[in-house]
Amino acid sequence: MRIRALSVFEGVVYHCYALDVDHPCRPVLEVEALTREGDLDVGPLLLTVADYMRMAGDGAANCLAELKRRRRIVEWQGVAHLSFPTWTLVGDGA
């Protein structure tokens, strides 16, 4: 599953959509957003589990146990989030 983040603030993804939903148990986050210092460099990027499930559909429920086992589900400010602990800057291909 590939997820495109359109806005990130202090490590939290606020607007995003699914580019594809194949392999929902292996989500990958791509950031295409204007960011400032502190948005991407404060630790893992976080996406709410509710947003992940909305995008992944029925396949998401079966993936939650595996994601928890792999410590990809974390709690932030009382809300469950999917954690993306690493990221890679990707050029625009130009």
C-alpha 30/C-alpha 50 separation (Å) is: 18
Please measure the distance between the N-terminal and C-terminal CA atoms of the chain and give it in whole angstroms: 25
The predicted model scores a pTM of 0.85
Does pLDDT of 71 surpass 60? Answer: yes
Specify the number of domains making up the chain.
1
Please indicate, yes or no, if residue 90 is contained in any of the structural domains. Answer: no
Does pLDDT of 88 surpass 80? Answer: no
Please indicate, yes or no, if residue 66 is contained in any of the structural domains. Answer: yes
Q: What 8-state DSSP symbol labels residue 22? A: S
State which residues form the domain around 15: 2-84
Please indicate, yes or no, if residue 34 is contained in any of the structural domains. Answer: yes
DSSP 23-62: STTS-EEEE-S---TTTSSSSSEEEEHHHHHHHHTTHHHH
Quick: pLDDT tens for 9-46.
999 999 999 999 999 999 999 999 888 888 888 789 99
Residue located via tokens 């392999």: 23
Does pLDDT of 81 surpass 80? Answer: yes
